[in-house]
Homo-oligomer: A and B are copies of this chain.
Amino acid sequence: MDLITVRELYKHPEEHLGKEINVGGWVRSLRDSKAFGFIVVSDGSFFETLQIVYHDTLPNFAEVSKLSVGTAILVRGTLVSTPQAKQPFEIQAAEVTVEGTSSPDYPLQKKRHSLEFLRTISHLRPRTNTFQAVFRVRSLIAYAIHQYFQERDFVYVHTPLITGSDCEGAGEMFQVTTMDLNNIPKTEDGRADFSQDFFGKATNLTVSGQLNAETYAMAFRNVYTFGPTFRAENSNTTRHAAEFWMIEPEMAFADLDDNMCLAEGMLKYIIRFVLEHAPEEMNFFNQFVDKGLLDRLHNVLNSEFGRITYTEAVKILEEHNDEFDYKVSWGCDLQTEHERYLTEQVFKKPVFVTDYPKEIKAFYMKMNPDNKTVAAVDCLVPGIGEIIGGSQREDDYGRLTSRMDELGLKKEDYDFYLDLRKYGSTRHAGFGLGFERCVMYLTGMSNIRDVIPFPRTVNNCEL
């Protein structure tokens, strides 16, 4: 259909002013009087709406005056500039055709709806201002991430979702099976007989693509993943979902410093991209969702991220233990309250915390010469806390296997991973960015359910 989008009108109005054009969209509101009326239309292509003016010269004037909110219409008319009005232009309609009516029980009548209510209609909420903004920005962030890595010649790797292994021993995983759950085939000793399952063994949904990504970094040097990840954690918080997307870059011939440079560059790139490509949406968030948002993002753009070791950070935090619910001491994992204190109060900008105690980090992280800490790094940002976690990887076969022994990990489960340390091992490093956390950070939205189109959480798998 030969329709001009509202985005196109806003981007290049001069090309259309004074001309007859066709547009299509959904009625957001309508004001009618005896001889004329105004229809505000959204066509989903742009955050701003388009005003249509119609007169009683229309043959279907009466019908148009009764259009209900949500109706899809086609409009033929002339674009005219409206220098006196708050919108830059409007369409003077020569023809208004109903494409699809909207039933009077349409839940999105023109009034403010709570986010809680809108979660119950996840198929309709993208039609509201807030979710138009959230999900367009989500799309742009995803694209910015691809662009950032592709411009730097990183190879995008689709690591598998269904997996026979458990990357970090992360416990709570979803099982995947084709066996009849009403009648599971059993072995002689009465246990589930996975040899009869689709893959001939027990399989799960992945919790991280990192180990697979490392194998590709050892071939392509710089790679990244961007795909769904799953956690069957039985926690009902505003920050956890059972299904979410992760970005995991991995670089060969790279150390922890390279890792931090890549992460800082990425976050700044994404922020710049979104400010440039979605200024209307970002202003909306700043005005209606999170007042300090734009200041905070500009502050990130203009600052060099801080760097501090875990040991130094703990010293600072211990001096403020009276302000924390959980008291800090060397060896403990940092809680969100500590992370936020560091980035918001101490540094007042994003900060990398490095060199954590080995006991609180994963087996594959590179041991530091002190033999107590590993070359891990978390990036903490104001308003959120940890947004990125990464490390330089242990590239020495002997040190890696002895760490695995200490932790009771079976080497035969990691043959492929150990091969990387046998055949041309190199320094390498990478990190993980939780995509939804990144979207929350850039939009100011505070519940993860509001940045995922169809969120999956405990007892919730609708649509």
Contacts and interface: CB of A to CB of B under 8 A. Distances in A.
Interface size class of A (residues with CB under 8 A): 35 or more
Contacts of A242: 162, 198-199
Interface stretch (A124-132, A289-297, A322-330): A124-132
B212 A420 contact: no
A260 B427 CA distance: 48
Given A174-B178, A424-B70, A426-B72, A160 B220 contact: no
Please give the count of copies of this chain that the complex contains. Answer: 2
B212 A423 contact: no
B459 A253 contact: no
Interface stretch (A48-56, A151-159, A311-319): A151-159
A461 B201 contact: yes
B181 A175 contact: yes
A191 B182 contact: yes
B454 A212 contact: yes
Interface stretch (A76-84, A95-103, A347-355): A95-103
Given A123-B416, A452-B158, A136 B220 contact: yes
Contacts of A100: 395, 421, 424-426
Interface stretch (A12-20, A221-229, A366-374, A382-390): A221-229
A166 interface: no
A179 interface: yes
Contacts of A303: none
Contacts of A202: 181
B175 A102 contact: no
Contacts of A176: 174-176, 205
Contacts of A172: 178
Contact of A228 (B24, B72, B161): B161
29 contacts: A1-B254, A3-B253, A24-B426, A44-B218, A70-B424, A72-B252, A72-B424, A99-B427, A100-B425, A102-B422, A102-B424, A103-B422, A123-B419, A126-B216, A126-B220, A135-B155, A142-B156, A143-B146, A143-B156, A158-B453, A161-B161, A174-B178, A176-B205, A181-B184, A198-B242, A199-B242, A201-B461, A212-B454, A416-B463
Across the A-B interface, the 6 shortest Cβ-Cβ residue pairs: A100-B425, A126-B219, A44-B221, A199-B461, A123-B215, A139-B156
Interface of A: 1, 3, 5, 7, 24, 26-27, 43-45, 70-72, 74, 99-103, 106, 122-124, 126-127, 131-132, 135-136, 138-139, 142-143, 146, 150, 153, 155-165, 172, 174-179, 181-182, 184, 190-192, 198-203, 205, 212, 215-216, 218-222, 227-228, 230, 232, 234, 242-243, 245, 252-255, 258, 395, 416-417, 419-427, 452-454, 456, 458-463
